[in-house]
Amino acid sequence: MQPLAGYGVSKVLESGHSDYKKGDLVWGFTKWEEFSLVSPTLLFKIEHTDVPLSYYTGILGMPGMTAYAGFFELGSPKKGENVFVSAASGAVGQLVGQFAKLTGCYVVGSAGSKEKVDLLKNKLGFNEAFNYKEESDLDATLKKYFPEGIDIYFENVGGKTLDAVLLNMRVHGRIPICGMVSQYNLTQPEGVTNLPNIIFKRVRMEAFFVNDFYHLYPKFLEFLLPYIKEGKILYLEDLAEGLENGPKALVGLFSGRNVGKQVLVVAHD
């Protein structure tokens, strides 16, 4: 039996690689186990320890880099632009929204519960947020929040949401595609019928994979660490304690129960 794989923070106990020595903290693709043998591929040494170490599984790790690369590199945001984020209270979405605000954009998020919508509006600084499950006409909802249209849609869900967004993009709009989570478990994917709309609006849609952007990691830390230390960016985590509670935490992700990045604490330093 193989342990599950996932992003984690670890302390080096022994190393055969010249870049890593005993006592170093690292983050990267590790396993759900107390002691791991990991390869240095896609492993990052943790240089800044004046922030919670759990942040390296989230805001300072893969989800943070995903939000950063998708929003800044693919989204090319400009001050004053209109940004829409789906799955906006998720590990990536909550950061995209805050990056958009820091850039001087107007940002609206969608999420799947009243609690999450409240968080977006009252804690995370989104201009507006709505519960997509309560909207019967997403096109009309988007027209209400974006009477002038959307410049950047950060795409996490696909399907019906994307189809409504395509009716509401502005000229030269950008759609960085991070995921289409609504489509993955369907036996028959929903058809997107509004693609021809992107022609007269000259829209760019681009799917990306965070691994193609890790060369930006130092620039990303330089950008983000000051905001974290000054409290100008919040990051919601849902901490569970003990490897034995891992399965329960994992299941919670699929019921939409947890709020913020789910982190499992295997051991304290």
Pick the piece of the chain touching a second copy (CB under 8 A) from 104-112, 141-149, 177-185, 259-267.
Answer: 177-185
> Under the criterion CB under 8 A, does residue 200 sit at the interface with a second copy?
yes
> Under the criterion CB under 8 A, does residue 199 sit at the interface with a second copy?
yes
- Whole-number Cα distances in Å, 106 to 110, 143, 168: 14, 14, 15
Task: Specify the residue, 211 or 245, whose C-beta has the smaller distance to a second copy.
Answer: 211
Q: What b/e sequence results for 66-77 when a residue is b if at least 16 CB atoms lie within 10 Å of its CB, and e otherwise? A: bbbbbbbebbeb
**Residue of the chain from 18, 22, 185, 209 that contacts a second copy (CB under 8 A):** 209
Tokens 């399907």 belong to which residue? 159
**Residue of the chain from 29, 113, 183, 252 that contacts a second copy (CB under 8 A):** 183
Q: CA nearest 216: which of 85, 44, 69?
A: 69
User: Which of the residues 147 through 166 are near a second copy (CB under 8 A)?
Assistant: 158, 162
> Under the criterion CB under 8 A, does residue 23 sit at the interface with a second copy?
no
Pick the piece of the chain touching a second copy (CB under 8 A) from 54-62, 185-193, 215-223, 247-255.
Answer: 185-193
Pick the piece of the chain touching a second copy (CB under 8 A) from 1-9, 79-87, 115-123, 195-203.
Answer: 195-203
Task: Specify the residue, 65 or 249, whose C-beta has the smaller distance to a second copy.
Answer: 65
> Under the criterion CB under 8 A, does residue 202 sit at the interface with a second copy?
yes
> Under the criterion CB under 8 A, does residue 185 sit at the interface with a second copy?
no
> Under the criterion CB under 8 A, does residue 109 sit at the interface with a second copy?
no
> Under the criterion CB under 8 A, does residue 73 sit at the interface with a second copy?
no
Amino acid at 49: T
C-alpha 240/C-alpha 76 separation (Å) is 36
DSSP structural state of residue 191:
P
Tokens 């019921």 belong to which residue? 255
**Residue of the chain from 15, 201, 225, 237 that contacts a second copy (CB under 8 A):** 201
| Least distance between a second copy and beta carbon 181 (Å) | 10
Tokens 């599950």 belong to which residue? 4
- Whole-number Cα distances in Å, 256 to 74, 128, 162, 250: 28, 21, 20, 11
**Residue of the chain from 16, 37, 184, 187 that contacts a second copy (CB under 8 A):** 184
Residue numbers of the site for a second copy (CB under 8 A)?
A: 158, 162, 177, 179-180, 183-184, 188-196, 198-209, 212
